[in-house]
Amino acid sequence: MPELRTPWRAVAAAFALNGVLLGCWASRIPAFVDRLGLDERTLGSLLLVMGAGALTSFPLAGRLSDRFGAVRLTRWIALAYLGSVIFLGMSQSLVVLASALFFFGMCHGSMDVAMNSWASEVERHMKRSVMSSFHAMWSLGAGLGAAGGYLATLAGASTGVHFALAALLSAALFGPFLRLPWQSQMRLAQAGEPRAPIFAVPRGSLLLVAVMALAAGLGEGAAVDWSAVFLTDTLGTPEAQATFGYAAFSITMVIMRLTIGSFITRFGATTVARGSGLLAAAGYAICAGTDALPIALAGFTLMGMGYAAVIPMAFSRAANDPVVPAGQAIASVATLGYGAMLFGPPLIGFIAHATSLRVPFAMVGGAALLIAICAGALSTTRNSPDALPEEGGRA
């Protein structure tokens, strides 16, 4: 019904906006590398700064969301996020770029927390699982951001002009949807109330689920931040075509996240997770061992197929843990998954500086095998074995 679709559109717009702006940055990393003469170690340090900004924002965003409401906070941060990408595009020195990336990371991370909280409210309102469809919209947005980077590169646009135009177009496209009316159904926290712990240590089989999320977060983060650099520096691909790697990864993620529910229903979460881990590992192995762009793009496609389902299934499994309360279980899995996604890419930069990008790509592929090895942990839930929501929960 229309009244049920309206809040879905609003949250989907928030996810798409978040993805578009990150895709802009990911697609133009080679431009910053060339302009400032960055090596792998320096780029890794900059990505670490961005990750630190995001992780710093997580607990703050959680508390503000409880205090003021996820909807209001998402809208506030969206405005700051649009401003941050403009600041990022205009960065002309290493110090300014580091400052811009910290702010950009804070906006990205805090909006991630706020919009996921809003999404959970809408999901309860709609009385069916729609979380994975929101994350499909994020992947679609990231792909559009990468495609915009390709066009901007072909046109010879500077990052300043490109990012400013991207921010203005994004505000015009997604802003009206973000302003759609929504009455929050969550009780806001009152001053003086005890706060839930920021991080809960996973225990038992939930620890294996967290390992799966960590491996998936590492693989996704590497694809976001290093795909374009890998294609330019390792394969010698022209800068414009280097955007194809992340675009292939993102588009595949969209398709898989929109269809993954039927695979889980038919084959079961454990089987899907095992296949996912093998596909992701194969994708990184192919990239690490090839010198041909078409084969590398096939590798990025396999990565998108492999990682699309893992974190959604891990979140669903955490919510149904038979021992740890749902909130604490989800928090523990999310922290490891997001932490790997944010801090894995800088580590890759340090390793690549000492060797080459082929070595950390092979290592990330090896980590993906942990997804297949730990897949059996998905079968332990409060309800029936191997039972997960049809659309896989949150990602």
**80 occurs within a structural domain:** yes
Between CA 176 and CA 161 the distance in angstroms is 23
The amino acid present at 85, given as its one-letter code, is V
Rounded average pLDDT over 306-331? 72
Residues composing the chain: 395
Q: Would you state the pLDDT for residue 113? A: 76
Q: Give the count of domains, the chain.
A: 2
Same structural domain for residues 107 and 245?
no
Between CA 331 and CA 346 the distance in angstroms is 23
Q: Are 304 and 253 in contact (CB under 8 A)?
A: yes
Q: Would you state the pLDDT for residue 380? A: 58
Q: Are 248 and 300 in contact (CB under 8 A)?
A: yes
Same structural domain for residues 173 and 138?
yes
Joined tokens for residue 126: 């709609």
The amino acid present at 347, given as its one-letter code, is L
Chain centroid to Cα 357, Å, comes to 21
**65 occurs within a structural domain:** yes
Joined tokens for residue 320: 């149904």
**208 occurs within a structural domain:** yes
Rounded average pLDDT over 300-326? 80
Same structural domain for residues 169 and 212?
no
Q: Would you state the pLDDT for residue 74? A: 92
Q: Are 23 and 145 in contact (CB under 8 A)?
A: yes
Same structural domain for residues 127 and 257?
no
Joined tokens for residue 215: 């491996």
* Residues of the domain holding 240: 198-395
**CA neighbours closer than 13 Å in the CB half-sphere of residue 4:** 9
Give residue 372's pLDDT band: very low, low, confident or very high (50, 70, 90). very high
Neighbours of 203 (CB within 10 A): 14
Same structural domain for residues 43 and 132?
yes
**226 occurs within a structural domain:** yes
Give residue 386's pLDDT band: very low, low, confident or very high (50, 70, 90). very low
Q: Are 178 and 122 in contact (CB under 8 A)?
A: no
> Considering 153, 180, 207, which residue would you say is the last residue of a domain?
180
Joined tokens for residue 209: 């689920």
Between CA 15 and CA 135 the distance in angstroms is 7
**189 occurs within a structural domain:** no
Same structural domain for residues 68 and 131?
yes
pLDDT tens digits along 5-44 = 678 889 899 999 999 999 999 889 989 999 999 887 888 8
Contacts of 119 (CB under 8 A, 6+ apart): 11, 15, 130, 131, 134, 394
Regarding predicted confidence, which is higher, 263 or 390?
263
Same structural domain for residues 203 and 344?
yes
Q: What is the pTM of this model?
A: 0.73
Q: Are 197 and 183 in contact (CB under 8 A)?
A: no
Q: Would you state the pLDDT for residue 390? A: 43
The amino acid present at 256, given as its one-letter code, is M
pLDDT tens digits along 242-279 = 888 988 998 898 888 888 877 777 888 899 999 999 99
Most confident of 42-56, 63-77, 147-161, 257-271: 147-161
> Considering 180, 209, 236, which residue would you say is the last residue of a domain?
180
User: In Å, what is the CA distance from 182 to each residue of 10, 117, 172?
Assistant: 9, 13, 20
Give residue 125's pLDDT band: very low, low, confident or very high (50, 70, 90). confident
Same structural domain for residues 163 and 216?
no
Most confident of 127-141, 169-183, 217-231: 217-231
Same structural domain for residues 163 and 306?
no
Same structural domain for residues 159 and 224?
no
pLDDT tens digits along 58-73 = 777 777 876 788 888 9
Chain centroid to Cα 374, Å, comes to 21
Rounded average pLDDT over 147-164? 92
Contacts of 130 (CB under 8 A, 6+ apart): 8, 119, 122, 123, 391
CATH code of the domain in which 63 resides: 1.20.1250.20
Between CA 200 and CA 210 the distance in angstroms is 11
The amino acid present at 179, given as its one-letter code, is R
Same structural domain for residues 140 and 284?
no
Same structural domain for residues 243 and 160?
no
Classify 69 as helix, strand or coil: coil
**218 occurs within a structural domain:** yes
**186 occurs within a structural domain:** no
